[in-house]
Chains A and B, each alone.
Chain A
Amino acid sequence: DTGVSQDPRHKITKRGQNVTFRCDPISEHNRLYWYRQTLGQGPEFLTYFQNEAQLEKSRLLSDRFSAERPKGSFSTLEIQRTEQGDSAMYLCASATAYNEQFFGPGTRLTVL
C-alpha cells in the first residue's frame, strides 16, 4: 500500500501523559499537513511542512504540541501533558505543491 499511513490508529492515555503520533507520507510528496478533527466537526489545520521545514503553525497548536519532520520524510506530532480537550482524531495528509491532499486514516486519541 503506497498511501499515507499513521501509527498508532488508536491511543488511550491518562491526563498529564505525553503521547507521540507518527505519519508516513507518500514517498514523493514534499508537503505534509497535520489536522485535528473533533466529533461532528470538519478537520482543523494544525501545522504544515515543506520537506523538513515547518512553515506554518495554527494558533490551535499550543506550546504543549510539537511536530517534526526530520529529513523531510516521516513526521511526528507530540502532545505533552495531555488534557481531556486534546481528545480528537489527528489526521495527516501529504501532497505535491498545490495538488490534491492525500489523507491517512488518522490516530484517534482518547484522554481519560
Chain B
Amino acid sequence: DARVTQTPRDKVTEMGQEVTMRCQPILGHNTVFWYRQTMMQGLELLAYFRNRAPLDDSGMPKDRFSAEMPDATLATLKIQPSEPRDSAVYFCASGLAGWTGGTFFGQGTRLTVV
C-alpha cells in the first residue's frame, strides 16, 4: 500500500529550537510538496520539488525555513529558530509530473511551538 510517510507525527518544542520534519514520498513519484495548514490561513504551499530540484519556495519564510531533498526518498523541512506562529500541521505530498492522477498527502506533522 503506497503512501507518503511523515515523521514525526507530533512535535512540541520550545521557541527558538530547531525543528526538522521528514517525508518519504511514494516510490516513483518525482514531485514533492510541503504544505502548512492552519485555521486562519488554510492550506498554504511552502515549497515544492521536481526530481529533487526546488521549483518554488516562494511560500516559505526564507529567514527561518529551509527545505531540501537529499535523495529521491527523503524530503526535509527545517525551521530554525522556531516561533509560536509556526504552530501548524505540516503536510508533505507527492505526485508524478505529467500523470493525470492525484497528489497524495502524508498524515502530517502537528507542530506546537511553546
Do A and B actually bind? no
B residues bordering A, Cβ < 8 Å? Answer: none
